[in-house]
Structure 1
Amino acid sequence: MKTGRSTAGDTKARILDATERLFIEVGYEGTSLRQVTSRAIVNLAAVNYHFRSKDIMMQAVLSRRLDPLNARRLALLDACEASWPGEQIRCEHVMGALFVPALQMAREPGIGGPAFLRLLGRVYSDTSPFIQSYLMGHYAPVFGRFFDAFARALPELPRQELGWRLHFALKALAGVLAGDDLGNLMPAFTQGKTMSDAHVLAQLSAMVVAALKAPAPAEQQLGALHAVFEIGERQHADESARQPAQPEGSAPSQPSTRAAAEPARRVRTSTRSEGAARAAVTSLPVRGSSRERPPPFPSNPLDDWMRTRSRN
C-alpha cells in the first residue's frame, strides 16, 4: 500500500509531467490548468495544493530540468577553460560545453529523456514574457559565462556584434530542436549512417560557428540590397497611387440602390472563374489588421527582428 507521502509525490510528479508535455506541445500561453488536470488525471484542488498558480507550476517544471542542465554546463565549461585557457579556447569547445550536457540528459530518462531536447528548444523559442523573464532572472549568470567564453574564442568580434549573432544562430537552432519533425530530420541529416553524438554536434556546430565567424557585409552586398529595397519601395508607391484615396477615419461610401444594381447584373453574367477570382482577392487579410495572427511556432529570429524593428 502506498503511503500518503508517496501518493502526494506521485500526484505532484504527474502534474509536472503533464505540464511539461503540454508546454512542449503548445507553449506557455497555450497551457491551461484545465488541460493539466485532464492530462494528469487530477482535480484542480490538487494543482492548487501543490503549486497555487500556473506560474509557480511552470517554474517547478523549468527548474527540475534546467537547474541540473546548467550545473552540468558550467562544470564542463570550467573544465574546458582549464584545458584551453585564455584565447586558446575555440568556439567548438564552448558549443560543446553548451550542448553536450543536453545530449547526455536526453539519453537519461530519469532526468530528461527523449523529449528533453524539444523541451529545451521550446524554452528558448517561447516568446511569452513569463518564460523570457524567468530565464533572464534565474539564468543570467550562466548566459554571461558562456557569452564571455564565446568572446574569448572570437576576440576580433565586437561584443555587440557577437551578441547579435549569438541571438540569431542559437535561437534558430533552438527552433529546430523544438520542432515536431526533429525525429524525421535526423535520419535525413545522418543519411542513414550511424553517427556519434560528437559527430552530430560537430555538424550542427559547424553551421553556428560559420554564422558567428561570417565576415561583415561588404559594400557590394549592401549596394545590391539597397537596389532591391529601392525597387520594392517604387513598386509599393505605385500600388499605393492606384488605390482610391479615403478620407482618414471615414467609412467606405455605400453605393446607391440603382448604382449597385448594375454591378450585380454584371456579376450574374460573368463567368464562374471570374467570380471565384474576385472572391479570393476580397478575402485576403488586410496588412496591419488587429486580427492578424501571430507568427506560428517555432519562433524564427527573422520574425522577432521584423516585429521589433522600427517602422518607417
Structure 2
Amino acid sequence: MTQADTVTRILDSAEQLFAEKGFAETSLRMITTRAKVNLAAVNYHFGSKKDLIQAVFARFLTPFTQKLDKELDAMVATNREPTFQDVLGVLARTMLTGVETHQRYNKLSVFMRLLGLAYTQAQGHLRRFLNENYAKTYGRFIGYLKAAHPTLSSDEIFWRIHFAIGSAVFTMSSLEVLRSMAQADTGHDASVERVMQMLIPFLSAALEQES
C-alpha cells in the first residue's frame, strides 16, 4: 500500500465514522480498525485527532472554495446586480460540480452531517481552522448576499443565514431518507439536482423577506 493509499483510507474511514458517531465518540482506534492501518500511520500522516478532523474538512472545503471563487467571479462578470437566487444558485452549482453522479448523495450527505456536527459539538479548534483557511471566500459570499438586500441589518443577515444553513444541512444530510419518504408519499423520486432546484427558491424567499 502506498502512502497516498494509506492517507486516503484513513480519511475515508474518519469521514464516515465522524459522520456516523460524532467527533467525540469516534476514537482513533475505531478509525484505524476500519481503515486497516496501525495507530502509528495516523500519527505519522496527521499527528493528532484534531489534525485529522481538520484534514477531513479540508479535503472537501479546499477544492470547494476554489470552485466557489471561480463561480462568483463568473457571476460578477455578468455586470448586473446579483439577486439572492443568483448567489445561492452559485453555491448550489459549486456543491454539485466535480462530484460523480453515483457519489453525489453520499458525498453531500456525509459532508452536511459533518457540517452540522461542527455547529453542535464543541470543536473550537475546527472553527478556528475554518476561519483561518476559508474566511475570505465565506466573507465574499456573505458580502454578495448582503449586497442583494442592503436594507437588512448585519444581525438579521447573520440569523437568516444560519437559519438557511440549518435548513440546508437537514435537507442534504437526510437526502436519502427524504427521497424515500417522497417516493412513498407522492410517488415521485427526486434527484439531488431537483432537490437543489426546490431548495434554492425556498431559502431565497426566507432570506429576502422584508422585516
CA distance in 1, matches of 2:197, 2:187: 15
Asked if residue 90 in structure 1 is aligned to residue 83 in structure 2, the reply is yes
Give, in angstroms, the shift of residue 177 of structure 1.
Answer: 1.7
Out of 14, 20, 27, the position equivalent to 2:15 is: 20
Q: Deviations over 1:140-194 (max 9, x none)?
A: 1111101110011112222321121111112221133223xx2131251785156
Runs of 4+ off more than 4 Å? 193-196
Which structure 2 residue ranges, 5 or more long, are not aligned? none
Letter of the aligned partner of 1:200 in structure 2? V
Distance in 1 separating the partners of 2:25 and 2:98: 26
* More helix as a share of residues: 2
Return the TM-score normalized by structure 1.
0.60
Structure 2 residue 28 is the aligned partner of structure 1 residue 33: yes
Structure 1 stretches lacking a partner, 5+ long: 1-5, 217-312
Q: Specify which of 55, 63, 70 is matched with residue 60 of structure 1.
A: 55
Percentage of matched positions with identical amino acids: 35
Alpha-carbon spacing, 1:78–1:26, altered in 2? closer, same or farther (3 Å): same
Q: Which amino acid aligns with 2:108?
A: L
Q: Distance in 2 between matches of 1:8 and 1:209?
A: 44
TM-score in terms of structure 2 length: 0.86
Find the partner of 2:107 among 93, 106, 116. 116
Greater Rg by CA: 1
Q: Which amino acid aligns with 1:101?
A: T
Which residue matches 1:266? none
Higher mean C-alpha deviation, range 124-133 or range 55-64: 124-133
What's the C-alpha RMSD, in Å, of the aligned pairs? 2.3
2:65 maps to which of 62, 70, 83? 70
Who is 1:104 aligned against? 97
Work out which structure has the larger RCO, using CA pairs closer than 8 Å and 6 or more positions apart in sequence: 2
How many aligned positions are there? 204
1:79 pairs with 2:74: yes
CA contact (8 A) 2:84 2:208 kept: no
User: Which one of the candidate residues 45, 53, 59 is aligned to 2:40?
Assistant: 45
Give the C-alpha shift of residue 24 in structure 1. Answer: 1.6
Counterpart check, 1:185 vs 2:178: yes
> How many Å separate the matches in 2 of 1:195 and 1:48?
40
- Counterpart residue number, 1:274: none
Query: Taking structure 1 as reference, are residues 158 and 191 closer, same or farther at Cα in structure 2, changes over 3 Å only?
Result: farther
For the 8 Å contact 1:70–1:142, the answer to whether it is kept is yes
Structure 2 counterpart of 1:43, one-letter code: N
